[in-house]
Amino acid sequence: AAGVIQSPRHLIKEKRETATLKCYPIPRHDTVYWYQQGPGQDPQFLISFYEKMQSDKGSIPDRFSAQQFSDYHSELNMSSLELGDSALYFCASSLGGEGRPYEQYFGPGTRLTVT
Amino acid sequence: AQSVTQPDIHITVSEGASLELRCNYSYGATPYLFWYVQSPGQGLQLLLKYFSGDTLVQGIKGFEAEFKRSQSSFNLRKPSVHWSDAAEYFCAVARGGSNYKLTFGKGTLLTVNP
């Protein structure tokens, strides 16, 4: 079965640079969530989108922005990167609306290292 | 705000032994409850979920979990652990209503001895 695809899988950036992470949800899934997992930490919710509209916002820094496109893929844009942004970034997707929005399926993650 | 507590940071069991991982949540109503498993460097795989109904839920890989409202708990169990079960296990809750975001516990690292 098709899963959530994230690219790139690994990314190395320097401080103050910009990074863009991409997420392709499971086909027919219309809801995308972004989570950040620091080293040895639990995943923390950043932001979510349903039908291309932001549906919820968590502890996402102002330096970060995200959007969901017409084909339901999502991009997380991160600017002025800091060392503390080094983490594993997960995207998850679900079928919202009358579907099963609580069943979130996670991608393999993008490991971002800021040097 | 809702919170999830996994009291055990690290558990070691022998292969073939039974397993129980503890999870307690703090929330006024009954939230939606989940267990995820994460192998090193991998993503999170959904093991099982509880929304309502039967309080004993079955999941993949032979796992089950029991929701106990009186104890605000959702403990994960497996009767016989396999070496491939070694991983980190996260309990998570979603508040419900239109609030779908997951709040995770700190995780329990499971080591399986041969």
The domains of chain B are located at: 3-113
Q: Is A53 on the interface with B (CB under 8 A)?
A: no
What pLDDT is attached to residue B58?
96
Residues of A within 8 A of B43 (CB-CB) are: 4, 90, 106-109
Cβ separation A56–B105 shorter than 8 A? no
**pLDDT, tens only, B65-97:** 999 999 999 999 999 999 999 999 999 998 776
pLDDT per residue as tens digits for the range A11-21: 999 999 999 99
Q: Out of A31, A96, A106, whose CB is closest to B44?
A: A106
Mean pLDDT estimate for chain A = 93
pLDDT at A59: 86
Per CATH, domain A5-114 is 2.60.40.10: yes
Predicted pLDDT of residue A49: 93
Q: In the prediction, which pLDDT does A1 show?
A: 72
The separation between CA A30 and the C-alpha centre of its own chain, rounded to angstroms, equals 14
d(CA A102, CA B88): 21
For the residues A23-42, what does the mean pLDDT come to? Answer: 93
Identify the CATH number of the domain defined by range B3-113. Answer: 2.60.40.10
Instruction: Return the amino acid letter for B104.
Output: F
Instruction: Give residues 54 to 93 of B whose Cβ lies within 8 Å of A.
Output: 90
Q: How near does any CA of chain A get to the CA of B98, in Å? A: 9
Our CA-based measurement puts residue A42 at a distance from the nearest CA of chain B, in whole angstroms, of: 5
Q: What is the mean pLDDT of residues A86-113?
A: 87
**Beta strands A5-7 and B108-113: pairing type?**
unpaired
**B21-28 mean pLDDT:** 89
| Chain B residues within an 8 Å CB radius of A36 | none
- Matching residue, tokens 């970034």: A89
Sign of CA dihedral B100, B105, B106, B108: negative
Instruction: Please say if the pLDDT value at position B40 is more than 90.
Output: no
C-alpha closest to that of A33 among A107, A111, A113: A107
